[in-house]
Amino acid sequence: MITTTDRPASAAARLPGRRPRLRRLGRGLIWAFDALIVVLGLAFFAPRAPVDPVQDLLGMIALFVPWLTGFLIAVVVIGAGTTLLLLRRGHRALSAAGALTVLLAGLMVIVPWSAARGSWVEHFTPALSVAPTATETYAPGLQVDVYLPPKPAPSRPALLYVHGGGWSSGARADSASWFGWMADQGITVYSVDYRLAPPPRWQDAVGDVKCALGWVRSAAARHGVTASNVSIAGDSAGGQLAMMAAYTVGDERFPPACDVPEEPVRSVMGWYAPTDLPALLAESGLPGAAAQAVGGYLGDQDPAVASPITYARPGLPPTLLVQGDRDHMIPTAQATALVDRLRTAGVSAEVVTIPWAEHNFTGHWGSWGSQAMRPVVGDFLRRHVLA
């Protein structure tokens, strides 16, 4: 007697609903991803709004994901292939959404690049690790990194740099690539610590920066620097401190934190720095983190006292302010208002707005914003520091 054995049921037969469910899941994921890119693209190209959570999210992505361009290029390449495949299989709605996704992702790559006319190689090349020549202590518990130039400029200039971080964080090595670049031009660069909030440090931090300036002048001979040719710069909160130190020489409310004489600096730079804290706090769309940082730095103090714009007057050093026009932390008006006030007082001042640049764009050495900014900073240094 011949018996037959049934063949094992296939996976599709055992689970007849599995493939349709997977297809629905796949289509849902494609729709969700397309929607995400469309929302980000619309926020990217929309004018900066006082209140826009999506733009704030995009700003945070740009801030913490320096390889965002690479991600968008991958979206273009993979999305183009997926869109063509979906079109061939008759999924017209999905393929149309995919085409829109590819278009927006491509524009988010091409438009900032064309505005900066930057180098793709530099954009994707990690910054070289730059170590200080020496690290010294300029006050109890506070250190300074010294970057000596391979070949000092004839004027033997020095530049003190103050790091950002919302007055409560950050480190003096954060912009080391920039320090190496400036040292290569013949400038001795000093990057300093200062006391961070909390508690409120609106006087202490400025006093520390002034103490560091005095220390730089006292160490000038040892480092081959001309004591009368010392400039100052900083980014974000560090730019505010740099300007406060430069603009309040002799002000009894802001004495140096150590026993050093005060002298004017040769020039000052502020990169995406707050200049008018009352106006900043009054802006309805100020992200909570920035408002919290200002409050932690000031405590109950009148914000006007710690605002560089309060001290705009004749006789101040030449000033360069650099601002990204997509900055979701510091509005462009902060820079333009101070420059207008300085120019009215007869001070040499300029503001340069970097297109499509977000807050802290200098943190990515090869970013389009950093590439566009370097010639601007180089020109300012040649005119006011290296001359």
**CA separation for the pair 102, 96 (Å, rounded):** 10
Please classify residue 288 by burial: count the beta carbons closer than 10 Å to its beta carbon, then call 0-12 exposed, 13-18 middle and 19+ buried: exposed
- Contact residues for 313 (Cβ-Cβ < 8 A; gap 6+): 345
- Strands 188-192 and 349-354, bridge-based pairing: unpaired
Q: At what angle do helices 18-45 and 68-88 cross, to 10 degrees?
A: 130
Question: How far does CA 295 lie from the centroid of its chain?
Answer: 21
Q: How far apart are CA 227 and CA 365, in angstroms?
A: 30
Say which of 175, 191, 236, 307 is annotated catalytic.
236
* β-pairing verdict for 349-354 and 134-139: unpaired
Pairing label, strands 134-139, 158-162: unpaired
Which tokens go with 75?
Answer: 């979206």
Angle of CA points 318, 320, 324, to nearest 5°: 170
Instruction: Count Cα atoms within 13 angstroms, Cβ side, for 68.
Output: 26
Strand blocks (E) in the chain: 134-139, 142-147, 158-162, 188-192, 230-235, 268-271, 319-324, 349-354
Report the residue count for the chain: 387
For residue 236, indicate whether it is catalytic.
yes
Whether the CB-CB separation of 230 and 249 falls below 8 Å is answered with: no
Q: Which residues are catalytic?
A: 236
